[in-house]
């Protein structure tokens, strides 16, 4: 079975895979412009906002899960088919690429995050658009047992994958109010990697993730980077987690209580 993370050596040995650039930014940078200027050889651009999320709303959050059909149509457009193996990367510790990889894996497809992404890449690079022929991709329902809504969280172990300062409520650059869901623990996803975006050694990660219990729930700002924590847990052979897709962007738009500190 394909592990959730692969390295450059694995990629070099598997030229048949589809490489997907899943860079995404919260600031003024444009991810498609960044892709056109500089990407891994043969990589297609997968637009997170267009293909991996539905339209944002106050009620549902910034990156609601798309319908299975909308996701399938995005994959078809990108040239990703049912039988393809997808290796996704970004320039942010793999936390954006993780959304695509998690969505593919939970629907029975072969996909992994490229450890280190473009940040640690020392090979050749390309410019411009890579277009693959439209592919056949079957819409598959999201596994209900792996996705939780805002009313499903009581009594569960909640793990907040955002940076610690956002969890504590010291800063809030984008969502309606600062803080975190009461009772949630913090486990910043980007701290699972080194300065070049490569995963920390397994013993170090096992210590960081040691507190996870069966049925734990991952969330973040909008349900994107939380997927990285889910993949790291799988990488370590720990209990399988579930995603609260609405995450803080949904919770903060309600009058539900929030904790600071």
Query: How high is the pLDDT of residue 88?
Result: 98
- The SS3 call for residue 6 is strand
Residues identified as active-site: 220
Query: Could you tell me which CATH number the domain at 145-251 has?
Result: 3.40.250.10
Extract the tokens encoding 197: 């975006």
Exposed/middle/buried for 145, CB within 10 Å: 0-12, 13-18, 19+? exposed
Residue range(s) occupied by CATH 3.40.250.10 in the chain: 5-141, 145-251
Query: How high is the pLDDT of residue 133?
Result: 98
Query: How high is the pLDDT of residue 100?
Result: 98
Q: Give the chain's residues under pLDDT 70.
A: none
Q: Which of 137, 5, 9, 21 is nearest to 84 (CA)?
A: 137
pTM exceeding 0.75: yes
d(CA 223, CA 120): 25
Q: Which of 92, 61, 95, 52 is nearest to 175 (CA)?
A: 61
User: Domain 5-141 adopts which CATH fold?
Assistant: Oxidized Rhodanese; domain 1 (3.40.250)
Helices (H) and strands (E) in the chain, counts: 9, 10
- Say how many CA atoms lie within 13 Å of 186 toward its Cβ: 18
In the beta sheet, which residues pair with residue 45?
21
Instruction: Judge whether 42 and 27 are in contact, CB under 8 Å.
Output: no
């Amino acid at each position: 079975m394909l592990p959730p993370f692969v390295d450059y050596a694995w990629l070099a040995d598997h030229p048949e895979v589809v490489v997907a650039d899943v860079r995404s930014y919260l600031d003024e940078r444009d991810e498609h412009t960044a892709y056109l200027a500089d990407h891994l050889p043969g990589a297609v651009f997968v637009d997170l906002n267009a293909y991996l999320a539905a339209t944002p709303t106050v009620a549902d959050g910034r990156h609601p899960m798309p319908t299975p059909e909308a996701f399938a149509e995005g994959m078809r457009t990108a040239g990703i088919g049912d039988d393809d193996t997808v290796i996704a990367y970004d320039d942010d510790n793999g936390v954006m690429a993780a959304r695509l990889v998690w969505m593919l894996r939970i629907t029975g497809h072969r996909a992994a995050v490229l450890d280190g992404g473009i940040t640690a890449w020392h090979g050749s690079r390309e410019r411009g658009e890579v277009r693959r022929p439209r592919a056949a991709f079957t819409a598959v329902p999201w596994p209900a047992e792996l996705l939780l809504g805002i009313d499903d969280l009581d009594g569960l172990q909640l793990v907040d994958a955002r940076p610690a300062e956002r969890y504590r409520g010291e800063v809030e650059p984008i969502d309606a109010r600062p803080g975190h869901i009461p009772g949630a623990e913090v486990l910043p996803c980007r701290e699972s990697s080194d300065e070049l975006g490569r995963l920390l050694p397994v013993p170090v990660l096992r210590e960081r993730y040691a507190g996870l219990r069966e049925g734990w729930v991952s969330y973040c700002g909008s349900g994107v980077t939380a997927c990285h924590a889910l993949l790291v847990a799988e990488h370590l052979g720990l209990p399988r987690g579930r995603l609260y897709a609405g995450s803080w962007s949904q919770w903060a738009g309600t009058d539900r209580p929030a904790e600071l500190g």
